[in-house]
């Protein structure tokens, strides 16, 4: 199992981040599963560098570019250089879904990074080339689910994320996180059978793009209000290889 804790912008105090990392290291030292922590970017610099524990670190985003004149961007190479192992890419909180024209931007909308399937693809490639393992988030909104478009949206997210990515890299390096947007931070969990079914859509899409062996090898997490009372059932499902956990990971 690959269990990743996405701390988003919840932990603003470095001392608190250190405490959480210390307890995550204890959990990880048990050795049964791979535990990953994704603190805020500046805290990664404090916490990841020189890490020799079984806990691995993830960034919550990564630049599609390598080094250069890219103000505000953090490249995969920079993250790899401070012992970060994974990068979360295309989280619904960074994918653009508002469709609002620029003059109407509110601060809340400006805080959304306007991620698209194209940038998710470029970031996935940049992460792999920079030595990181991409955790690529896919998933439908409530409106997309209600109109019966869940499987098509998820298949499209997967297909476009993997453009120009080799089968070997998909099998060994890429992790998908199926995160129904309506279940993120809402307490509304996707029923385990349905989560498993859609993770199966991710797997069969990979099979269609590559082959059965690649689809079998690719790791798929479920994310969205995963917590102690539903994690065991979700993680027992055949297509679910781990969890991407926000609120409950704190
Ligand atoms: P949540 O977030 O567990 O708070 O729903 C999951 C995520 O956004 O990755």
**Alpha-carbon distances of 109 from 94, 102, 106, 140, 175, rounded to whole Å:** 10, 9, 5, 19, 28
230 C-alpha vs ligand 1 centroid, how far in Å? 13
CA distance 167 to 206: 9
137 C-alpha vs ligand 1 centroid, how far in Å? 11
Give yes or no for residue 225 CB within 6 A of ligand 1.
yes
Tell me the residue length of the chain.
Answer: 250
Locate the ligand 1 atom nearest the alpha carbon of residue 88 and give its number. Answer: 9
> What is the per-residue pLDDT across 81-110, written as a single tens digit (0 to 9) for each?
999 999 999 998 887 544 444 555 565 555
The pLDDT, as a whole number, for residue 129 is 98
Give yes or no for residue 223 CB within 6 A of ligand 1.
yes
Locate the ligand 1 atom nearest the alpha carbon of residue 6 and give its number. Answer: 9
244 C-alpha vs ligand 1 centroid, how far in Å? 7
> What is the per-residue pLDDT across 111-122, written as a single tens digit (0 to 9) for each?
556 678 888 999
Locate the ligand 1 atom nearest the alpha carbon of residue 8 and give its number. Answer: 8
Is 70 a known active-site residue?
no
Q: Among the options 43, 80, 91, 157, which is catalytic?
A: 91
Average pLDDT value for the chain: 92
Mean pLDDT by 10 residues, the chain (250 residues): 96 97 94 94 96 96 91 94 97 68 55 76 97 97 92 97 98 98 87 98 98 98 96 97 96
The pLDDT, as a whole number, for residue 164 is 97
CA distance 179 to 227: 14
Give yes or no for residue 180 CB within 6 A of ligand 1.
no
Is 91 a known active-site residue?
yes
């Amino acid at each position: 199992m690959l269990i990743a804790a996405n701390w988003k912008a919840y932990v603003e105090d470095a001392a608190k981040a250190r405490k959480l990392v210390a307890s995550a290291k204890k959990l990880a030292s048990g050795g049964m599963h791979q535990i990953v922590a994704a603190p805020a970017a500046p805290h990664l610099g404090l916490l990841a560098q020189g890490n020799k524990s079984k806990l691995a670190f993830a960034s919550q985003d990564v630049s599609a570019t390598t080094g250069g004149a890219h103000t505000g961007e953090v490249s995969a190479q920079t993250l790899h250089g401070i012992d970060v192992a994974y990068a979360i890419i295309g989280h619904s909180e960074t994918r653009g879904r508002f469709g609002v024209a620029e003059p109407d931007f509110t601060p809340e909308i400006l805080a959304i990074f306007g991620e698209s399937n194209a940038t998710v693809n470029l970031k996935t490639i940049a992460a792999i080339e920079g030595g990181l393992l991409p955790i690529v988030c896919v998933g439908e909104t409530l409106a997309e689910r209600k109109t019966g478009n869940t499987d098509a949206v998820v298949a499209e997210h997967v297909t476009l994320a993997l453009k120009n990515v080799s089968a070997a890299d998909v099998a060994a390096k890429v992790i998908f996180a199926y995160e129904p947007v309506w279940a993120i931070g809402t307490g509304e969990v996707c029923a385990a059978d349905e989560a498993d079914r859609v993770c199966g859509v991710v797997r069969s899409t990979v099979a269609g793009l590559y082959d059965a062996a690649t689809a079998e090898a690719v790791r798929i997490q479920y994310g969205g209000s995963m917590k102690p009372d539903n994690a065991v059932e979700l993680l027992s499902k055949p297509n679910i290889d781990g969890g991407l956990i926000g609120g409950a990971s704190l």
